[in-house]
C-alpha cells in the first residue's frame, strides 16, 4: 500500500497548510477547509509513521529470531512477531480507511423523498412499499423516522412521500439509494395475471443546517391552501397547508400533514434548504469531476439503481451488480448486504480520488 502513496507530496502539502493557517487575513471559510484538510493529513502521516516503526521493529525481531538457535528464544521471538504483525495489520486497515475520507455530509440525517413514476396506481403502491422498506431498515439501525409530507392515493399508495430519517451517519448509509427503482410484479389490479413493470424515484437529501444554505426571504413565494387527502377529500377546513417556492431555483416544497400552518411552514423550509443543498452539491461534483464515472456515489436521479422482481423473489442492484434471491427479506428492511457493498465501492472511489489529487 505504502509504495502507491506519495508521502513526500503529502508532507509538502502538510507544510503548506501549516504556513497558510498562520496568515490572519485568511477568510473564515478558507480557514475552516484548510484546517480540516490539515487535520486529516496530520492523522494520515501519524499513522504512516507508526506503520514504518512497526515494520522496522518486525524486521528486527525476525532477524534476531533467525540468528538464535535456542528453542526458547525462537518461541519468544515468534510470539513477538505475531503480535507485531497483528498490530501492523490493524494500523494498515485504519490507514486504508483514512485514505478514503468520508464525504462532508455523511454523518447527517436525511430527507428521503419517494415519488411514484410510471405505472399509475401500481407505481404509487410500490412507492409505499419502498417507504416501508426504508422505515424498517432505519428502525433496525436505531434511527427515527417521521413522515413530513405525503400525497396518498385511493388504494393506499403514495404519489409522493417525504420522510425525515434522523440519526448518525444516515446519509453515509443511504445516499446511493437515489435514483430510479423498478419493480416487476403482478399488480393487485391485474386480472389476467400479467407481470407489469413500474417505477418509483428516490431522492436522498442530507439535512441542511442553517449555515449551509442562505435563503433571502425576498426570494420566497409562500402560498397557503386547504389540505386535502386521497381523492380530494378535505382533511381539515382551514388553510393550514403551505407551499413554498424558491424563485431563483424554482424549487417548490409543499407540506400539509400538520394542522398548524406554522408547523407546515417550518417543515417545508427545512426540506427546501436540504433540496437546495443537494442541488449545490450535485453542481459542484459535476464541475469538479473530469469524467462521468467519477460521479459514482452521487446518486444522480436519472440512474436506474435497482430492480425488484417479485415472481423470482430477486433484487438486483445495478450500481454494484449484486443480485440477491431474497427480495422478501429486502422489502422487510434487510438492506445491509446491498448498502455495505455500495459503501465499499464508494470508499474505493473516494480513495482513488484523494490520491489522484497528489499524483505528480
pLDDT tens across 51-110, in order? 999 999 999 999 999 999 899 999 999 999 999 999 999 999 899 888 887 777 888 999
Q: Is 285 exposed, middle or buried (0-12, 13-18, 19+ CB in 10 A)?
A: middle
Q: What is residue 291's predicted lDDT score, i.e. its pLDDT?
A: 36
Query: Would you say 198 and 119 are in contact if contact means Cβ atoms under 8 Å apart?
Result: yes
Low-confidence ranges of the chain (pLDDT < 70): 1-3, 210-212, 227-239, 257-258, 284-303, 360
Q: What is residue 235's predicted lDDT score, i.e. its pLDDT?
A: 47
The per-residue b/e assignment along 113-123, b for 16 or more CB within 10 angstroms, e otherwise, is bbbbbebebbb
Q: What is residue 357's predicted lDDT score, i.e. its pLDDT?
A: 81
Q: What is residue 297's predicted lDDT score, i.e. its pLDDT?
A: 38
CA distances from 219 to 63, 136, 211, 275, 332 (A): 72, 38, 17, 15, 42
In Å, how far from its chain's centre is CA 314?
Answer: 24
CA gap 355, 350 in Å, rounded: 9
92 beta partners:
none
Amino acid at each position: 500500500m505504502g509504495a502507491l502513496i506519495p508521502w513526500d507530496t503529502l508532507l509538502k502539502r502538510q507544510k503548506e497548510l501549516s504556513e497558510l493557517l498562520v496568515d490572519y487575513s485568511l477568510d473564515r471559510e478558507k480557514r475552516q477547509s484548510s484546517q480540516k484538510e490539515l487535520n486529516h493529513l496530520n492523522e494520515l502521516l501519524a499513522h504512516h509513521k507508526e506503520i514504518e516503526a512497526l515494520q522496522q521493529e518486525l524486521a528486527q525481531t525476525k532477524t534476531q529470531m533467525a540468528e538464535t538457535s535456542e528453542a526458547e528464544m525462537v518461541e519468544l521471538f515468534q510470539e513477538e512477531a505475531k503480535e507485531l504483525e497483528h498490530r501492523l495489520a490493524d494500523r494498515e486497515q485504519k490507514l486504508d480507511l483514512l485514505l478514503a475520507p468520508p464525504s462532508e455530509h455523511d454523518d447527517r440525517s436525511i430527507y428521503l423523498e419517494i415519488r411514484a413514476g410510471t405505472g399509475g396506481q401500481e407505481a404509487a403502491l410500490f412507492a409505499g412499499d419502498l417507504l416501508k422498506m426504508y422505515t424498517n431498515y432505519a428502525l433496525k439501525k436505531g434511527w427515527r423516522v417521521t413522515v413530513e409530507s405525503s400525497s396518498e392515493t385511493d388504494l393506499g399508495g403514495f404519489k409522493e412521500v417525504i420522510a425525515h430519517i434522523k440519526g448518525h451517519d444516515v446519509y453515509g448509509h443511504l445516499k446511493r439509494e437515489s435514483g430510479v427503482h423498478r419493480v416487476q410484479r403482478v399488480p393487485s389490479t391485474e386480472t389476467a395475471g400479467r407481470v407489469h413493470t413500474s417505477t418509483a424515484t428516490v431522492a436522498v437529501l442530507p439535512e441542511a443546517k442553517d449555515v449551509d444554505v442562505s435563503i433571502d426571504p425576498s426570494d420566497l413565494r409562500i402560498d397557503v391552501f386547504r389540505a386535502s387527502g386521497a381523492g380530494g377529500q378535505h382533511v381539515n377546513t382551514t388553510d393550514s397547508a403551505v407551499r413554498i417556492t424558491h424563485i431563483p431555483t424554482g424549487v417548490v416544497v409543499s407540506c400539509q400533514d400538520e394542522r398548524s400552518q406554522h408547523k407546515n411552514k417550518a417543515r417545508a423550509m427545512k426540506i427546501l434548504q436540504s433540496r437546495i443543498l443537494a442541488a449545490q452539491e450535485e453542481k459542484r461534483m459535476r464541475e469538479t469531476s473530469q469524467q462521468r464515472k467519477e460521479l459514482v456515489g452521487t446518486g444522480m436521479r436519472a440512474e436506474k439503481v435497482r430492480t425488484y422482481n417479485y415472481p423470482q423473489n430477486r433484487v438486483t442492484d445495478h450500481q454494484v451488480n449484486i443480485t440477491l434471491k431474497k427480495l422478501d427479506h429486502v422489502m422487510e428492511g434487510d438492506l445491509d448486504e446491498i448498502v455495505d457493498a455500495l459503501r465499499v465501492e464508494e470508499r474505493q472511489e473516494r480513495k482513488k480520488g484523494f490520491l489522484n489529487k497528489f499524483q505528480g
